[in-house]
């Protein structure tokens, strides 16, 4: 129930009529402690306390060291306010709340003001392999005249390869897989039913699938109309679309994604990056 000025007036009226605090609290459905606070403020000032958006303690102005700290950390890591909170504590030994960090990001023009309060999300059940290179996700993506092919490790989320080209092709897919294999032997490759992976037939055989088998990689196709099967790489493309223009070269973007940006699906309490997780999850021989 929304607390209004009229309900506060009725609550104080009940107290004036001799009702107990517990009886009066039922009018506005507030706590007994809150009734005492309202009554104390009314007795002190002679007026009913203001409620609403602009009531309460005035906001403390931003300090220069806060602005510089948030600006420097964001420009290096380009992550959300709650992740910046942890990074600032780790790197500078200072604590700035994530709500205040978001306000500073809005002030700097790095974020937009929220119109609505965030809805608390349920913890997502993540399915991922235990060891690095057990499986990779691959896909093609189009952005503003550029075709993008990526190979992402399932266990660590590390980018093993990123190809930017003018066209989507089987040849470029094979080049991308060759780059990924420099990190080690891959066991399985998960892809959708895209034509570059399944429909480039020579003598009734798919050239890309034959290439995978020749390199000892088992091809796995996602279920049709089930994008979550390849959801990790689809989620990566959202990050690519949002942040690619902030970097001059593809190599700078890969370094940021693999080595600077903590990934929430990994050991987030330790601010683990995909490169760190890739090493930690390598199969011990």
pLDDT (tens digit, 0 to 9) for every residue of the chain, 285 residues total?
Answer: 567 778 888 888 888 888 888 888 888 888 888 888 888 888 888 887 777 666 566 778 999 999 999 999 999 999 999 999 999 999 999 999 999 999 999 999 998 887 776 666 666 656 778 899 999 999 999 999 999 999 999 999 999 999 999 999 899 999 999 999 999 999 999 988 888 888 654 444 678 889 999 999 999 888 777 666 788 899 999 999 999 999 999 999 999 999 999 998 888 889 999 999 999 999 876
Question: CA 231 to CA 250: how far, in whole Å?
Answer: 22
Beta strands in the chain (DSSP E): 135-143, 146-153, 159-165, 188-191, 201-202, 205-206, 218-221
Q: Determine the length of the chain.
A: 285
pTM score, two decimals? Answer: 0.76
pLDDT at 55: 59
pLDDT at 120: 63
3-state secondary structure 5-56: HHHHHHHHHHHHCCCCHHHHHHHHCCCHHHHHHHHHHHHHHCCCCCCCCCCC
Those residues with Cβ within 8 angstroms of residue 152's Cβ, 6 or more apart along the chain or in another chain: 136, 137, 138, 158, 159, 160, 232, 233, 236
In eight-state DSSP terms, residue 271 is T
pLDDT at 204: 47
End-to-end CA distance of the chain: 61
Question: CA 167 to CA 222: how far, in whole Å?
Answer: 23
Exposure of 85 by Cβ count < 10 A (0-12 exposed, 13-18 middle, 19+ buried)? buried
pLDDT at 229: 72
């Amino acid at each position: 129930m929304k607390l209004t000025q009229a309900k506060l007036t009725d609550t104080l009226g009940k107290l004036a009529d001799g009702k107990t605090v517990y009886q009066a609290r039922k009018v506005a459905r507030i706590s007994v402690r809150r009734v005492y606070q309202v009554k104390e403020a009314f007795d002190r000032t002679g007026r009913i306390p203001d409620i609403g958006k602009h009531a309460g303690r005035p906001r403390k102005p931003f300090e220069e060291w806060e602005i510089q700290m948030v600006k420097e950390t964001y420009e290096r890591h380009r992550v959300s306010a709650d992740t910046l909170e942890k990074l600032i504590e780790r790197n500078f030994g200072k604590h700035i709340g994530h709500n205040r960090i978001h306000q500073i990001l809005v002030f700097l023009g790095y974020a937009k003001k929220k119109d609505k309060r965030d809805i608390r999300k349920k913890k997502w059940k993540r399915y991922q392999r235990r060891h690095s290179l057990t499986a990779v996700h691959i896909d093609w993506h189009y952005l503003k005249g550029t075709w993008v092919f990526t190979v992402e490790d399932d266990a660590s989320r590390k980018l093993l390869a990123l190809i930017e080209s003018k066209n989507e092709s089987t040849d470029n897919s094979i080049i991308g897989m060759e780059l990924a294999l420099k990190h080690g032997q891959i066991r399985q490759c998960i892809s959708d039913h895209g034509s570059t992976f399944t429909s480039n037939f020579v003598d009734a055989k798919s050239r890309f699938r034959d290439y995978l088998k020749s390199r000892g990689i088992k091809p796995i196709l996602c279920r049709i109309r089930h994008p979550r099967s390849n959801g990790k790489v689809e989620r990566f493309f959202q990050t690519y679309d949002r942040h690619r223009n902030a970097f001059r070269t593809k190599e700078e973007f890969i370094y940021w994604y693999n080595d600077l940006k903590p990934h929430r699906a990994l050991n987030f309490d330790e601010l683990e990056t995909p490169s760190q997780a890739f090493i930690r999850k390598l199969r011990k021989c």
